[in-house]
């Protein structure tokens, strides 16, 4: 029966090619626009590290101006001071993985290959736990250990891209790069790794590409007069003469990995104790306001999904609604237009249910074709989005899941659009049509 109805559906669609094409275009446009907005939105609102996003916590401490909060109503700064991040990295209870980090800007040269053009590196100074905490995959070598952190070891982990640029993509572990007159030994090369959004540091754009290189935080500390901070620096008071690294200015991020609720509570208590102790020294003049936010909370707090994208998503669903209303109207016209045929079929014994089913199958087929057209349009739409937004290179991508959603949505939309027309047509009185024929 299904095959028979499918054949009928195809024949019926072929009989009115113009009208069928109009409907396919209407569904296709609706799905195309919707899928374009939805895929951008889904990737922006997506979880960049799903299997452990509920165990990784961003730390916030409120060292801000006693007279006014960092953000109304009473939000603590979104980054930490250098010294607090260092202190937390050193003093956090044993067994808790931690990563203190800050963006760093330097120029790398390859000392044994002077023909290689020096590269401006947007890097990250961090602690050795970073790689395990954030599941960084390695192509060659690996990260560094706690000893390297303690000694400010002159080591570096390169991104795959930077390794391509400096070493032609070869296994560069053991080779050196030079920053000014400091030599850094390559210990690892990261494989393709592209957390989107780049949750671990949102301060310089949630969709910034991942860092070019990683060095120990303690090494940056040693070279802090020469190497530049890369990222946003916020101060509520002028830094002291000793400089920004000894100030209340915030430009450092700090993450911990906490396996369960007890450990979250314990760590919260640890943070409170740390701040109380600092209060004794005259710092942290605001009331206790320490925060631990897991990855998804952190993305929320930092408003990673931009209002523009939510507005576009809402409008695109309204667009889909118009397309569907359009399709309903066209279907109604088409079905009622062949009421005569249906009258004959009904008179010859086809039940209402069969007629209904036959027409629903027809709109299902329309929906599926519309979905394919819509996917093509969404693909073009995403190419358009990529060319419009410099940052969205990696956000505006179609993936398999979205393809499935698109086809499903299209068939569903088609069937919803077809319900009423199919119901109308199956309820016609056959006698009327038999008489006029």
Q: Which of 14, 17, 67, 348 binds other proteins (CB under 8 A)?
A: 67
Question: Beta-carbon neighbour count of residue 22 at 10 Å?
Answer: 15
Give the one residue of 273, 288, 321, 347 binding other proteins; rule: CB under 8 A.
Answer: 321
Asked if 323 is part of the footprint of other proteins (rule: CB under 8 A), the reply reads yes
DSSP class of 313: H
406 binds other proteins (CB under 8 A): no
134 Cβ neighbours under 8 A, 6+ residues apart: 49, 56, 99, 195, 200
Q: Which of 163, 168, 167 is closest to 189 using CA atoms? A: 163
Q: Pick one of 3, 94, 147, 241: the residue that binds other proteins (CB under 8 A).
A: 241
CB 154 within 8 A of CB 141: no
Site string for other proteins, 186-225 (x = CB under 8 A): ----------------------------------------
CB of 170 to other proteins, least distance (A): 23
How many C-beta atoms surround the C-beta of residue 400 within 10 A? 7
**φ, ψ dihedrals at 185, nearest 5°:** -90, 130
26 binds other proteins (CB under 8 A): yes
Cβ neighbours around 104 below 10 Å, total = 26
Binding-site member from 238, 282, 287, 349 for other proteins (CB under 8 A) = 238
The SS3 of residue 130 is helix
Stretch that binds other proteins, among 26-34, 56-64, 80-88, 148-156 (CB under 8 A): 26-34
348: contact with other proteins by CB under 8 A: no
Spatial CA neighbour of 101 closest among 120, 128, 119: 128
**Binding region for other proteins (CB under 8 A) out of 23-31, 165-173, 264-272, 407-415:** 23-31
Q: Are 188 and 173 in contact (CB under 8 A)?
A: yes
Q: How many residues bind other proteins (CB under 8 A)?
A: 54
Q: In the numeric block, which tokens belong to residue 77?
A: 């700064």
Rounded to 10°, the helix 307-337/17-44 angle is 160
Residue carrying the six token digits 């505006």: 396
Count CA atoms within 13 Å of residue 400 on its CB side: 0
Q: Of 237, 277, 341, 401, which lies in the binding site for other proteins, with binding defined by CB under 8 A? A: 237
Q: Which two tokens stand for residue 359?
A: 């027409």
3-state helix, strand, coil split of the chain in percent (to 5) is 50, 15, 35
Integer CA distances (angstroms), 382 to 33, 197, 312, 313, 410, in order: 10, 17, 14, 14, 18
Residue pair 233/251 in contact by the 8 Å Cβ criterion: yes
> Of 103-111, 187-195, 280-288, 291-299, which part binds other proteins (CB under 8 A)?
103-111
Of 290 and 327, nearer to other proteins (C-beta) is 327
Element containing residue 356 per DSSP (H, E):
helix 352-388
DSSP 8-state code for residue 98: E
Span interacting with other proteins, options 131-139, 140-148, 250-258, 329-337, rule CB under 8 A: 329-337
Instruction: Verify binding: residue 326, other proteins, rule CB under 8 A.
Output: yes
Binding to other proteins (CB under 8 A): which residues in 375-404? 384-385, 388-390
Q: Which of 288, 325, 412, 434 binds other proteins (CB under 8 A)?
A: 325
Q: How far is the CB of 432 from other proteins (least distance, A)?
A: 14
Tell me how far, at minimum, the Cβ of 17 lies from other proteins, in Å: 14
Spatial distance between the Cα atoms of 41 and 419, rounded to a whole number of angstroms: 30
Taking the least distance from each CB to other proteins, the nearer of 174 and 384 is: 384
One residue of 169, 243, 259, 408 binding other proteins per CB under 8 A: 243
Indicate whether 259 belongs to the interface with other proteins (CB under 8 A). no
Kindly tell me which of 50 and 228 has the beta carbon lying closer to other proteins: 228
Q: Does 244 bind other proteins (CB under 8 A)?
A: yes
432 interacts with other proteins by CB under 8 A: no
330 binds other proteins (CB under 8 A): yes
Site residues for other proteins per CB under 8 A: 19, 22, 25-26, 29-30, 33, 67, 105, 107, 109, 118, 120, 180-181, 226, 228, 237-239, 241-244, 306-308, 310-312, 314-316, 318-319, 321-323, 325-326, 328-330, 332-333, 337, 384-385, 388-390, 420, 424, 436
């Amino acid at each position: 029966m299904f095959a028979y109805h499918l054949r009928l559906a195809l024949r019926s669609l072929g009989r009115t090619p113009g009208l069928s094409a109009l409907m396919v275009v209407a569904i296709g446009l609706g799905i195309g626009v919707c899928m374009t907005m939805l895929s951008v939105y889904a990737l922006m609102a997506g979880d960049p590290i799903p299997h452990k996003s509920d165990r990784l916590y961003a730390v916030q401490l409120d060292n801000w101006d006693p007279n006014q909060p960092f953000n109304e109503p009473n939000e603590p700064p979104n980054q930490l001071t250098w010294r607090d991040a260092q202190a937390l990295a050193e003093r956090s209870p044993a067994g808790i993985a931690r990563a203190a980090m800050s963006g760093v800007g330097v120029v790398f040269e390859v000392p044994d290959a002077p023909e290689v053009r020096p590269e401006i590196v947007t890097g990250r100074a961090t602690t050795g736990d970073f790689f395990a905490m954030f599941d960084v995959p390695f192509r060659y070598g690996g990260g560094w250990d706690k000893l390297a952190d303690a000694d400010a070891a002159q080591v570096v982990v390169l991104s795959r891209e930077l390794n391509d640029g400096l070493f032609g993509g070869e296994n560069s572990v053991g080779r050196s790069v030079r920053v000014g007159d400091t030599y850094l030994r390559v210990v690892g090369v990261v494989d393709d790794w592209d957390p989107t959004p780049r949750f671990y540091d949102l301060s310089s754009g949630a969709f910034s590409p991942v860092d070019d290189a990683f060095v120990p935080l303690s090494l940056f500390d040693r070279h802090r007069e020469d190497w530049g901070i890369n990222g946003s620096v916020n101060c509520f008071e002028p830094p002291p003469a000793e400089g920004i690294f000894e100030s209340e200015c915030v430009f450092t991020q700090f993450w911990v990995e906490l396996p369960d609720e007890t450990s979250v509570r314990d760590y919260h208590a640890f943070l409170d104790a740390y701040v109380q102790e600092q209060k004794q020294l005259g710092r942290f003049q605001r009331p206790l306001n320490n925060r631990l936010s897991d990855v998804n909370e952190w993305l929320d707090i930092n408003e990673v999904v931009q209002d523009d994208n939510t507005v576009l998503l809402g409008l695109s669903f309204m667009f889909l609604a118009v397309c569907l209303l359009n399709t309903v109207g066209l279907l109604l016209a088409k079905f009622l237009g062949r009421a005569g045929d249906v009258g004959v079929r009904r008179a010859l014994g086809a039940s209402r249910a069969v007629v209904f089913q036959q027409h629903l199958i027809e709109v299902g087929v329309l929906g599926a074709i519309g979905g394919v057209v819509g996917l093509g349009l969404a693909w073009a739409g995403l190419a358009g989005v990529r060319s419009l937004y410099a940052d969205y290179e990696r956000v505006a991508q179609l993936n398999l899941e979205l393809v499935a959603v698109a086809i499903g949505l299209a068939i569903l939309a088609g069937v919803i659009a077809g319900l009423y027309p199919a119901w109308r047509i199956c309820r016609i009185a056959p006698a009327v049509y038999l008489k006029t024929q």
